[in-house]
Amino acid sequence: MSEVIALGQPTVGEAELAAIAEVFASGWLAGAGPTCRRFEERFAAAAGTRHALATTNCGSALHLALLTLGAGPGDEVVVADYTFPATGHSVLWTGAKPVFADVRPDTWTVDPAAVEAAITPRTVGIIAVDAFGQPADYDELRAIADRHQLFLVEDAACAAGATYRGRPAGSLADVATFSFHGRKGITAGEGGAFVTDRDDLAAHARKLHTYGVEGALTRAELSHLPIPSFTELGYNYRLSDVAAAIMLAQLDRLPELLAAKRRTAARYGELLKDHPLITTPYQAPDREHPWQSYVVTLDPTVDRGAVALALRERGVQCTFGTYASHVQPLYDQREPCPVSADLFARHLAVPMHANLTDAQVETVATTLVDVVDATAAR
């Protein structure tokens, strides 16, 4: 084996290093400083919202969303089942219970009919997930939420740069949350964001994310010496200014990163479309997909584990898609989500990032076809 083709890889370089050097020279490296403020202003504009709050990760942003929207013990929140468990965990952190709803077999986003069926008198809200970046059915979900007087949260962890019916991911619910983990479309290694149009939620989230008091930057701008008073339990969910500097450079790169991944997705589609045992991902015509991951569905007769092992032996990194949350022992949910469970068993993610060359994309597709054919022939 010579070259290893990475599953995911950040696109970083001199721009990010220069941004970090600027923060070092400023003397303010800690969280929620002036560089964070600049990033928040720019990210809110990109997400189409009035407010953005930089956080440690998407999980902490989800926790803030649920706290500010009032979820707590005795409540239920309907959650898209096919997602990394941080989505369900964030509900448990408030003392509420996640109730998982099945997903559509084509977009892999939560099925509005399943959401409606999961609502009980204890339901207070809905969390939709933009599966691998593709937005969910927000017009239908908004109608359900309004009809039942529920809040709606968009877990846009993978969706920076995506759109739904012409509207950017982030602007599609009461609150949206993003991840800047190393495999995401734009990244500082870790980090996240909470975005909203609501002044009250933004102000409350900003207080909670700094231990329950105003941040040091805000206090430094006052004309007197403020002595904070702790009236509410808060958290240390602040993103450092070093990471915010990287994110400012990454925002500048976002258009080129999206263009590169969309070219790669299109090429994968061309190379794999006719294989009888491999189904390529579907993009809804009213959405722009950011392609955080490229996930194929293998025929039930194909041994996914054997395929993954053979791909790795030939230098192609891969992994499963994401989790069917309802089967995780932590949640103890008895109601099945059969579509999500089937996707969990058959999905395979292959290399997808903006640094892939045309030759690497062809190598991945050719190797995948060879391995699937060999595995199916056994």
Residues known to be catalytic: 184
173 vs 167: CA distance, rounded Å:
11
318 vs 336: CA distance, rounded Å:
27
Residue whose C-alpha is closest to residue 177's, from 31, 323, 10, 54: 54
Residue whose C-alpha is closest to residue 299's, from 322, 271, 279, 324: 279
308 vs 306: CA distance, rounded Å:
5
Phi, psi at 340, each rounded to 5°: -60, -40
Residue whose C-alpha is closest to residue 171's, from 197, 144, 206: 197
What Å distances lie between residue 58 and 85, 89, 207, 242, 335, CA to CA? 11, 11, 17, 18, 27
203 vs 145: CA distance, rounded Å:
23
The structure tokens listed for 289 are: 């997909």
72 vs 122: CA distance, rounded Å:
11
Q: Do residues 80 and 152 touch, judged by C-beta distance below 8 A?
A: no
Q: Quote the crossing angle between the two packed helices 241-272 and 14-26, to the nearest 10°.
A: 170
